[in-house]
A and B are shown apart, each in its own frame.
Chain A
């Protein structure tokens, strides 16, 4: 078959919603796009543990602490599902980790914001995980099999993350004046970065069209963002709090909430390494990896030694 025939067969399968599996022929650009997207997603799960780890030792009750540990452990698991999915495309784990640590690979810019108060654990669960779920649910039907299967598992687990976050805010919203202030303050700080999590608006997102054709992406950034705003604008009422957007208003004609302009300058700055915590996050990752090197080496040496011993006994 010629290259064009391969490409036609491939696109036909995608159009018919037949999943692409690792050994199937795929265009190089499809493979590259997936490696970039899945590894960035994996990195986001791993770096995403850091802002929350900050509060594990200071969780207000044992119940909250157990929950937070479980959530952070889930994020590690999600990172692993995704790294494994990316590895099926022919990149090694070490290459991906190297790209993260050298700054070549990006991760979600939301994790470059600091977690200043306990209420941030609530706002992250509600808004950040909420936005992530909005993005991730359509990925359960992505054309690449291992990615879609990883996303199914992730989405199942994310639901508790969002609910525990909302519960944290709900308790604060019914608490003292100081707790209510803390709740509102954290919503104020996390709202816009969460809205930005859906990425650039459609007219500034050059790769979106191709990803839609490949069914890696099913909805446009702006469509998902609108859905997120509509849902949160209602949910915030249950907290008796407000979203920090003076332009947020129900538009009867559109059947959606209108919302104010997004500060894309801030978005680009954070993505390009100038967010409040970029350096700190990356340094923490690199340190954890380097400090753990002896454990990885020791485990490998132990396994090799035991295998050699078993080989001798068998001989």
Chain B
């Protein structure tokens, strides 16, 4: 509910999912869903859904996103709590990495005879 009272637009890290600045106060808030597909792997953003509270969001996420055993663990985060970088500023924001090719192993010119490196 608070989600829609906020006029700021909220973006989830995984998808850039935006919660519309809607007007309906009665609507259930939006949740971003993250699923671990098997032990040893990261939780990955999979989508979003509306639910009245966290428990319902987890149950709905199970029904919507794991009907074919796609998950062993679910995280839900109310969309309004996700903060994201601004795509309009991407050029300057990521600029510091642009001129540092020496951070990559292929930058270094070594003889082919050199093994195990």
- Asked if A22 and B67 sit within 8 Å, CB to CB, the answer is no
- Asked if B64 and A80 sit within 8 Å, CB to CB, the answer is yes
Q: Is the interface of A mostly helix, strand, loop or mixed?
A: helix
Q: What are the interface flags for A276-315 relative to B under an 8 Å C-beta threshold, 1 for contact and 0 otherwise?
A: 0000000000000000000011011011101100000000
Known: A21-B16, A23-B86. Is A73-B67 also a contact (CB below 8 A)? yes
Q: Which residue of the partner chain A has the closest CB to B85? A: A23
CB distance from A87 to the nearest CB of B (A): 6
Question: Which A69-87 residues have a C-beta within 8 angstroms of B?
Answer: 70, 73-74, 77, 80-81, 84, 87
**Complex Cα distance A208/B60, Å?**
36
**Complex Cα distance A92/B11, Å?**
15
A95 within 8 A of B: yes
How many chain B residues touch A (CB < 8 A): the figure is 33
A25 within 8 A of B: yes
The interface stretch among B21-29, B92-100, B102-110 is B21-29
Chain A residues whose CB sits within 8 angstroms of the CB of B11 once the complex forms: 22-23
Chain A residues whose CB sits within 8 angstroms of the CB of B86 once the complex forms: 23
**Complex Cα distance A61/B23, Å?**
47
Known: A77-B67, A300-B26. Is A87-B19 also a contact (CB below 8 A)? yes
B17 within 8 A of A: yes
- Asked if A90 and B49 sit within 8 Å, CB to CB, the answer is no
CB distance from A58 to the nearest CB of B (A): 24
Chain A residues whose CB sits within 8 angstroms of the CB of B50 once the complex forms: 93
**Complex Cα distance A91/B88, Å?**
22
Question: Which B5-58 residues have a C-beta within 8 angstroms of A?
Answer: 9, 11, 15-24, 26-28, 30, 47-50, 52-53, 56
Question: Which A204-221 residues have a C-beta within 8 angstroms of B?
Answer: none
- Asked if B28 and A300 sit within 8 Å, CB to CB, the answer is yes
Chain A residues whose CB sits within 8 angstroms of the CB of B26 once the complex forms: 296-297, 300
B72 within 8 A of A: no
- Asked if A21 and B24 sit within 8 Å, CB to CB, the answer is no
Q: Which residue of the partner chain B has the closest CB to A160? A: B68
The interface stretch among A49-57, A120-128, A133-141, A145-153 is A145-153
**Complex Cα distance A196/B77, Å?**
42
Q: Which residue of the partner chain B has the closest CB to A1? A: B88
Q: Which residue of the partner chain A has the closest CB to B22? A: A92
CB distance from B36 to the nearest CB of A (A): 17
**Complex Cα distance A23/B13, Å?**
11
Q: What are the interface flags for A206-247 relative to B under an 8 Å C-beta threshold, 1 for contact and 0 otherwise?
A: 000000000000000000000000000000000000000000
A263 within 8 A of B: no
A5 within 8 A of B: no
- Asked if B56 and A299 sit within 8 Å, CB to CB, the answer is yes
CB distance from B32 to the nearest CB of A (A): 10
**Complex Cα distance A10/B93, Å?**
19
- Asked if B53 and A306 sit within 8 Å, CB to CB, the answer is yes
Q: Which residue of the partner chain B has the closest CB to A87? A: B20
Q: A23-B84, A88-B15 provided; 19 other pairs, C-beta below 8 A?
A: A21-B15, A21-B87, A22-B18, A23-B9, A23-B87, A73-B63, A84-B49, A88-B20, A89-B18, A90-B20, A94-B22, A145-B15, A149-B15, A157-B68, A296-B26, A297-B26, A299-B28, A302-B52, A306-B53
